[in-house]
């Protein structure tokens, strides 16, 4: 027969063991698993590093119509040159049924698969970006169902792809897709992505063309930490978009000849803007990506190189990754016809080795 004291001791030991085993079985592995499969977005952002946009190819109405068609060799060039990652803008909305169930054209999907695989097989992280859904600017509510249906197809298709594939929910919300409405749409799109990709890193930018002053209105679900926040920077627009026919809010021909001389006041304007962005990132504990910046080919090359280097350095100094706009085409850092890097811009983007 056990004495009462002994019984108490055994009960206490038994309880302790139960709790210990419980913690070991339930708590520890659960934590360990989460750590293993959700990449740290800050680490991933470091890996994005200094990247380039493959713009004007899959985001044109049809690939090639804007004079640029992706080739496998470009991924080698980008990797060998020392760029760390690519952003792949894709006009999904131009290749999906206009009516329910809004099916994405299988041939187009295969082409996007090919481009993603070209990047991933070279160990180049890739941001898969939903670009140029322009109808959403005029009439977002009528297009909301179709927009969400695109992510219902895209997200499951890539659910087993490695962590270095990231999804960007929407390029540059603007006009009638106001910052308030964008917050609403973004949360719904994110929830759809999370159904099939609970741990995928998702890239989200603020309203009004992903501009810095709009960051303060961006309302990302606080408990979702697998997110990188992106901003775009084309300031001053009179310099970066001089002569750009697609600027509608002003006559950009009047801006022709605008230079950027790296004068103290010009640099201060940039630094002030980036400090606002960096302060927001710190306060909200989010990694930040500069997803687009560049100066159109009609500006003079010296100013373009000066501006590009200053923006790239200012972003990197504040812990941001970046994607220059763009590899080939009208802001090109690479000349696909002459098969050569455009040296002043190339040197502005990558540190000398
Ligand atoms: C935006 C547009 C792209 C344009 C770039 C520079 O990303 O989507 O088409 O070339 O900004 O204006």
User: Is 316 in contact with 54 (CB distance < 8 Å)?
Assistant: no
Residue 327 CA to ligand 1 center (angstroms) comes to: 13
Residue 296 CA to ligand 1 center (angstroms) comes to: 10
Q: Give the catalytic positions in this structure.
A: 172, 292
CA distance 67 to 90: 15
Which atom of ligand 1 sits closest to the CA of residue 53? 7
129 lines ligand 1 (CB under 6 A): no
Residue 324 β-bridge partners: 52
The H or E element spanning position 240 is: helix 237-240
Report pLDDT for 10: 56
Report pLDDT for 249: 87
Taking the alpha carbons of 246, 248, 253, 259 in that order, is the dihedral positive or negative? Answer: negative
CB neighbours of residue 339 within 10 Å: 9
User: Is 201 in contact with 265 (CB distance < 8 Å)?
Assistant: no
Report pLDDT for 352: 84
Report pLDDT for 17: 47
Task: Name the nearest CA neighbour of 129 among 308, 326, 275, 297.
Answer: 326
Contacts of 279 by beta carbon, 8 Å cutoff, 6+ apart? none
Pairing of strands 85-90, 50-53: parallel
pLDDT tens per residue across all 353 residues of the chain: 444 555 445 555 555 544 444 444 444 444 444 445 789 999 999 999 999 999 999 999 999 999 999 999 999 999 999 999 999 999 999 999 999 999 999 999 999 999 999 999 999 999 999 999 999 999 999 999 999 999 999 999 999 999 999 999 999 999 999 999 999 999 999 999 999 999 999 999 999 999 999 999 999 999 999 999 999 999 999 999 999 999 988 999 999 999 999 999 999 999 999 999 999 999 999 999 999 999 999 999 999 999 999 999 999 999 999 999 999 999 999 999 999 999 999 999 998 87
Phi, psi of 89 (to 5 degrees): -75, 130
Residue 133 CA to ligand 1 center (angstroms) comes to: 12
DSSP for 316-338, written as a single string: HHTT-EEEES-SSSTT-SEETTT
Report pLDDT for 35: 42
CA distance 3 to 7: 6
pTM: 0.89
Pairing of strands 340-341, 334-335: antiparallel
């Amino acid at each position: 027969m056990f004495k009462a004291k002994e019984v108490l001791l055994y009960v206490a030991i038994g309880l302790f063991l139960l709790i210990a085993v419980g913690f070991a079985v339930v708590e520890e592995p659960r934590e360990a698993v989460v750590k293993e499969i959700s990449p740290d977005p800050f680490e991933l952002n470091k890996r994005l590093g200094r990247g380039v946009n493959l713009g004007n190819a899959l985001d044109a109405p049809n690939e090639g119509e804007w004079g640029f068609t992706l080739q496998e060799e470009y991924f080698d060039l980008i990797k060998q040159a020392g760029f760390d990652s690519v952003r792949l803008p894709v006009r999904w909305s131009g290749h999906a049924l206009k009516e329910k169930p809004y099916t994405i054209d299988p041939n187009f999907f295969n082409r996007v698969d090919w481009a993603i695989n070209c990047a991933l097989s070279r160990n180049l992280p890739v941001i898969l970006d939903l670009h140029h859904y322009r109808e959403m600017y005029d009439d977002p509510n009528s297009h909301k169902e179709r927009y969400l249906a695109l992510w219902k197809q895209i997200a499951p298709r890539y659910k087993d792809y490695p962590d270095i594939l990231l999804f960007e929910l929407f390029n540059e919300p603007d006009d009638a897709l106001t910052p308030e409405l964008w917050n609403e749409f973004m949360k719904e799109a994110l929830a759809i992505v999370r159904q099939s990709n609970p741990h995928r890193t998702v890239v989200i930018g603020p309203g009004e063309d992903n501009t810095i002053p709009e960051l303060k209105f961006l309302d990302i679900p606080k408990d979702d930490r697998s997110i990188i926040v992106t901003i775009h920077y084309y300031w001053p627009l009179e310099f970066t978009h001089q002569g750009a026919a697609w600027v509608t809010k002003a006559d950009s021909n009047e801006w022709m000849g605008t230079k950027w001389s790296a004068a103290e006041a010009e640099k201060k304007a940039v630094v002030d803007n980036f400090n606002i962005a960096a302060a927001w990132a710190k306060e909200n504990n989010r990694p930040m990506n500069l997803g687009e910046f560049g100066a159109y080919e009609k500006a003079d090359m010296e100013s373009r190189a000066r501006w590009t280097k200053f923006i790239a350095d200012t972003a990197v100094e504040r812990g941001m990754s970046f994607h220059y706009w763009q590899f080939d085409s009208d802001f090109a850092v690479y000349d696909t016809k002459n098969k050569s890097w455009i040296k002043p811009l190339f040197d502005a983007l990558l540190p000398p080795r």
